[in-house]
Amino acid sequence: MVLRFFEGLSVEETAERMGRSRQCVRSLQFRAVRTLAKIVSPELAIA
């Protein structure tokens, strides 16, 4: 999340820095945002 949202890197740039595929970065990003949503606002969390 730091690379994508705070440093403003694209999915491709993030994948390259992490040594992961673009799809992996997208999946990790999705899970991180979902987890953060559950912590910050449980009533908005996706089951």
10-39 pLDDT tens trace: 999 999 999 999 999 999 999 999 998 888
- Kindly tell me if the per-residue pLDDT of 42 is higher than 80: no
What pTM value is reported for the model? 0.76
- Kindly tell me if the per-residue pLDDT of 47 is higher than 80: no
Sorted by where each begins, the domain ranges of the chain are: 2-44
C-beta atoms surrounding 25 within 10 Å: 22
Chain-centroid distance, C-alpha 3: 9
d(CA 36, CA 20): 22
pLDDT (0 to 100) of residue 40: 85
Contacts (Cβ under 8 Å, ≥6 apart) of 46 = 34, 37
pLDDT (0 to 100) of residue 3: 94
